[in-house]
Structure 1
């Protein structure tokens, strides 16, 4: 599909989008997929089939190479996953347009102004969007929108931001050069059109066909995200109260999900290793081998075994990163050499418990 404009949704598709939207519009929290599924199960319908039938531009796989009305782990969604709407849903749900889409475009223009007016020097600080300053600059924004904006920014494919929560609902997000692609965007339609252009171009670069046409790449059956999306939601919430700065960890987890979906073993192994190197201070240790050997896990026997396997896996990642080229055959690694996602998810759940 080349565009999300002028699509005609079935009644079932429209009702599913509304079922996802209504809890979010009321509370600012996306519903668990199990909660969305349940009424459909009672009616003998399959919500998963309807979800995967929704229109989409670009391709499956990399986050920034596809766009639709929803963001979710395609094609397999777990009951504890949270399926999110994108700004594109403004095209088909007027209430989403009014409460989220139009304010989002105004906030984006504010971010563009911040970045465009920056001072370019060797020691210039990062450009930071602060919730308190945004609310002061735009008193028309409802507190609900200020609350949900970081989540919207995190799941729009062409905008690169990271940030932290400061407690009491306050937050900060870094404004990067990615917003400058949206110079001149004034309406929701402008934003969706530009995003569609960007993801379509990205898709063509990821999977060019013989005539330069993108060929869809679908993750192998059963391969969902490496890091559970519900767990990423937990980590996002933890940024609101934790003394630890989690934005780098969350960004690495998202990048791991993207590269895992694309079937890139070296990049995936490198990111797993980077995450294991990044998190030990939360557990009070200097490196992950100490975590595996000394930490008392909530589920001691099982999670300790997961940690020990991951500690040993670092040797495989090290091999992929540092084995030099040779005139003789060199051992390679493949997707089957990666540790099962359950192991890293167990450790990150333990980390979230500590936070």
Structure 2
């Protein structure tokens, strides 16, 4: 990718630009002192009465080191369309006198980073293991701090978001079945004709790092670009958003409400389960039935599609379906070792569907899209980690494998299953 050029010319549908955000944030001021070359050392400071009390979580004034980190990460991305590897970021930050890992972890975060919960910060990365070849990414919220990201996130991202919301508003639900609606790269091309192929190729990566949008990214082996976006009702939570600051404010509000609700429910359960202290009188609280959302590792829609293929293909799908269901069950119950074993079993089980005798052969010889090829390579690398779980002997120290080691691979597994379902 030569560079993340955004448009090939003026596109009226894609230009809400700065006058709009300034009109919306009449009480907002830009604080700057120019301490870091190439980046304005300041942020948009919001009046809580205008855009909500949670907004300052991600718009608080950043330190020099934090701004330098965002600048170092954003420059290669705007040049090439890919976030730089962590090894590069660490080296450049070290040359400038900073510990990149410590600075990254110091960036503000809203919500909860616990498994099964949602959070939102300026950066997206594996909180437990930062490998040298990993590529931490910046979220749309970083566009409030880094001027070079402003055209991408303030302008184009918000226009795409509005378009997705308008598409969702046109979906007509059926009382008899689940109607799944998708937006494809071809739809984006038709509706935003002046956007470049580089920008359309970057869209899945951008959307995957936004907590209310990432589940919509759906690998599609039937489309040449290898992805599509599944519309959903959660988009309507953002229907009143008209600029980047309002978007960040709304997302922070949602994840903070979820965190607060989880904390309150935990407190209620703790009070119900533990006896009161001698000096504490028990309190009677109204009975509330909590709404529990079970986290899924494998997209349920893919499992349903696979089940519908039963009897329509020469392959027996019983074992595969059971493996997938058990994987989702173990993931919901925080069973990391069982999850590792099941992921390993699944990737070894499906290659015949793709006309290959092994997963290694499928990765090397099957005709994948460019994105899916990267996903499959990562899944192949995962086999070493699964072997560690399955075959390492007992030792005196605690095993470091946890549920967090699975999180980056959910999209990879869904891409593999999407291809298998399309192939059946």
TM-score (norm 2): 0.54
- In structure 1, runs of 5+ residues without a counterpart are 213-226, 228-251, 313-334
2:223 is the alignment partner of 1:177 = no
Q: Deviations over 1:245-266 (max 9, x none)?
A: xxxxxxx9xx98xx69xxx534
Cα distance in 2, alignment partners of residues 32 and 6 from structure 1: 26
Deviation at 1:141, TM superposition (A): 2.8
Which has the higher mean CA deviation after the structures are superposed, 55-64 or 19-28?
Answer: 55-64
Deviation at 1:304, TM superposition (A): 8.5
Deviation at 1:83, TM superposition (A): 0.5
Question: Are the equivalent residues in 2 in contact too, given 1:56–1:68 (CA < 8 A)?
Answer: yes
Which of 173, 185, 205 pairs up with 1:131?
185
Question: Are the equivalent residues in 2 in contact too, given 1:158–1:198 (CA < 8 A)?
Answer: no
Q: Deviations over 1:286-319 (max 9, x none)?
A: 9xxx979x99999xxx99897678789xxxxxxx
Cα distance in 2, alignment partners of residues 100 and 340 from structure 1: 28
Cα distance in 1, alignment partners of residues 99 and 253 from structure 2: 32
2:155 is the alignment partner of 1:102 = yes
2:190 is the alignment partner of 1:190 = no
Which residue pairs with 2:168 in the alignment? 115
Matches within 5 A, 1:5-24: 6-24=59-77
Q: Deviations over 1:100-120 (max 9, x none)?
A: 342111111111111111122
2:140 is the alignment partner of 1:87 = yes
TM-score (norm 1): 0.63
Which residue pairs with 1:59 in the alignment? 112
Deviation at 1:60, TM superposition (A): 2.8
Deviation at 1:81, TM superposition (A): 1.5
2:232 is the alignment partner of 1:163 = no
Q: RMSD over aligned Cα, in angstroms?
A: 4.5
Question: Are the equivalent residues in 1 in contact too, given 2:171–2:181 (CA < 8 A)?
Answer: yes
Cα distance in 1, alignment partners of residues 226 and 362 from structure 2: 33
Q: Secondary structure at the match of 1:265?
A: coil
2:89 is the alignment partner of 1:36 = yes
How has the CA–CA distance of structure 1 residues 83 and 306 changed in structure 2, closer, same or farther, with 3 Å as cutoff?
Answer: closer
How has the CA–CA distance of structure 1 residues 309 and 171 changed in structure 2, closer, same or farther, with 3 Å as cutoff?
Answer: closer
Deviation at 1:62, TM superposition (A): 3.7
Cα distance in 2, alignment partners of residues 303 and 275 from structure 1: 9
Q: Secondary structure at the match of 1:21?
A: helix
How has the CA–CA distance of structure 1 residues 134 and 78 changed in structure 2, closer, same or farther, with 3 Å as cutoff?
Answer: same
Cα distance in 2, alignment partners of residues 295 and 204 from structure 1: 48
Deviation at 1:138, TM superposition (A): 1.4
Q: Secondary structure at the match of 1:30?
A: coil
Q: Secondary structure at the match of 1:35?
A: helix
Deviation at 1:31, TM superposition (A): 1.1
Which residue pairs with 1:47 in the alignment? 100
Deviation at 1:273, TM superposition (A): 6.0
Which of 122, 126, 136 pairs up with 1:73?
126
Q: Secondary structure at the match of 1:152?
A: helix
Q: Secondary structure at the match of 1:57?
A: strand
How has the CA–CA distance of structure 1 residues 59 and 307 changed in structure 2, closer, same or farther, with 3 Å as cutoff?
Answer: closer
Question: Are the equivalent residues in 2 in contact too, given 1:115–1:175 (CA < 8 A)?
Answer: yes
Question: Are the equivalent residues in 1 in contact too, given 2:348–2:358 (CA < 8 A)?
Answer: yes
Deviation at 1:47, TM superposition (A): 0.8
Deviation at 1:163, TM superposition (A): 1.3
Aligned length: 276
Deviation at 1:337, TM superposition (A): 9.9
Question: Are the equivalent residues in 1 in contact too, given 2:58–2:121 (CA < 8 A)?
Answer: no
- In structure 2, runs of 5+ residues without a counterpart are 1-52, 270-296, 298-323, 365-380, 392-398
Cα distance in 1, alignment partners of residues 199 and 363 from structure 2: 38
Deviation at 1:144, TM superposition (A): 2.7
Cα distance in 1, alignment partners of residues 268 and 382 from structure 2: 49
* The structure with more radius of gyration: 2
Q: Secondary structure at the match of 1:120?
A: coil
Question: Are the equivalent residues in 1 in contact too, given 2:341–2:386 (CA < 8 A)?
Answer: no
Which residue pairs with 1:27 in the alignment? 80
Question: Are the equivalent residues in 2 in contact too, given 1:163–1:171 (CA < 8 A)?
Answer: yes
